[in-house]
């Protein structure tokens, strides 16, 4: 059996976004070219050690490790603006708010410019907040790669531990492909690189074709 590509050593940068339920954005970003790893959790607030049922003032966010030579921060922001669960103009509870947490001054500058352009394009004020990234608290295991975990036999075949659900490259990719994110030809190219067996490749391809264009939200 081919070696499953859990670890990938490509140099990376981080991006952190809040855009509604983190199950959806985990699938959305995970299948993108240049995204190496994803994990979901709680950030943006001051409450110590938040958990799902006691989140305090934190927001559900996705933390993305990406290869800037393949996908830019601007590319990630384009996906961010176009895929909010609750839209960009209505103030909602902090758990699901629109949030960009920047990791350096360059990201801050790009995010602020992007926000102005997006508001101008939509001809309305947007409720998105931009703030410095602070402590990130990983969500409970069952939230990580939620869509992938719905296929328990697949997780078992891939040898996914709770830790790997947050760090595995193949887990990030399949979590998106299974719900219809991405193109079939891209998946076919990825399948060999990811070390997928024929059985897994056939299974994931079928779900990708069945679910393409479907709703990602909870």
Catalytic residue among 21, 25, 155, 218: 21
Q: What is the DSSP letter of 100?
A: E
The one-digit pLDDT tens for each residue of the chain (218 residues) are 569 999 999 999 999 999 999 999 999 999 999 999 999 999 999 999 999 999 999 999 999 999 999 999 999 999 999 999 888 999 999 999 999 999 999 999 999 999 999 999 999 999 999 999 999 999 999 999 999 999 999 999 999 999 999 999 999 999 999 999 999 999 999 999 999 999 999 999 999 999 998 878 77
Please tell me the chain's helix, strand, coil percentages from 3-state DSSP, rounded to the nearest 5: 40, 15, 40
Which CATH code of 3.30.70.1140, 3.40.50.1820, 3.30.1060.10, 3.20.20.70 fits the domain covering 13-138? 3.30.1060.10
Instruction: Read off the tokens for 111.
Output: 């995010």
Q: Is 37 exposed, middle or buried (0-12, 13-18, 19+ CB in 10 A)?
A: buried
Within a 10 A sphere around the Cβ of 66, how many other Cβ atoms? 24
Rg, Å, the chain Cα set: 17
Closest CA to 127 of 69, 87, 88, 161: 88
> Buried b / exposed e across 92-104, counting CB within 10 Å, b at 16+?
eebbbbbbbbbee
Tell me the domain boundaries of the chain.
13-138, 141-211
How far are the Cα atoms of 147, 154, 187, 201 from residue 150, in angstroms, in the given order?
5, 9, 19, 17
21 is catalytic: yes
Please, what is the average pLDDT of the chain? Answer: 96
Check if the beta carbon of residue 167 is closer than 8 Å to that of residue 31. no
Question: Mind listing the pLDDT tens digit for each residue in 165-193?
Answer: 999 999 999 999 999 999 999 999 999 99
Give pTM, 2 decimals: 0.95
pLDDT at 217: 77
């Amino acid at each position: 059996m081919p070696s499953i590509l859990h670890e990938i050593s490509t140099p990376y940068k981080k991006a952190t976004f809040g855009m509604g339920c983190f199950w959806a954005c985990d699938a959305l970003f995970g299948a993108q070219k240049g995204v190496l790893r994803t994990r979901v959790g709680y950030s943006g607030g001051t409450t110590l050690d938040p958990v799902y049922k006691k989140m305090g003032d934190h927001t559900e966010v996705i933390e993305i490790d990406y290869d800037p030579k393949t996908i830019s921060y601007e590319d990630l922001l384009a996906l961010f603006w176009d895929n909010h669960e609750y839209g960009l103009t209505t103030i909602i509870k902090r758990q699901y708010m629109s949030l960009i947490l920047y990791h350096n001054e360059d990201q801050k500058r790009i995010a602020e410019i992007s926000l102005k352009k997006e508001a101008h394009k939509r001809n309305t004020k947007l409720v998105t907040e931009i703030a410095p990234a602070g402590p990130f608290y990983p969500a409970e295991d069952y939230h990580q790669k939620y869509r992938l975990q719905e296929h328990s036999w697949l997780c078992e075949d891939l040898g996914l531990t709770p830790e790997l659900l947050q760090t595995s490259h193949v887990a990030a990719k399949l979590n998106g492909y299974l719900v219809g994110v991405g193109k079939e030809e891209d998946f076919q190219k990825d399948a060999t690189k990811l070390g997928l067996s024929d059985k897994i490749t056939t299974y994931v391809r079928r779900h990708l074709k069945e679910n393409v264009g479907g709703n990602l939200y909870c």
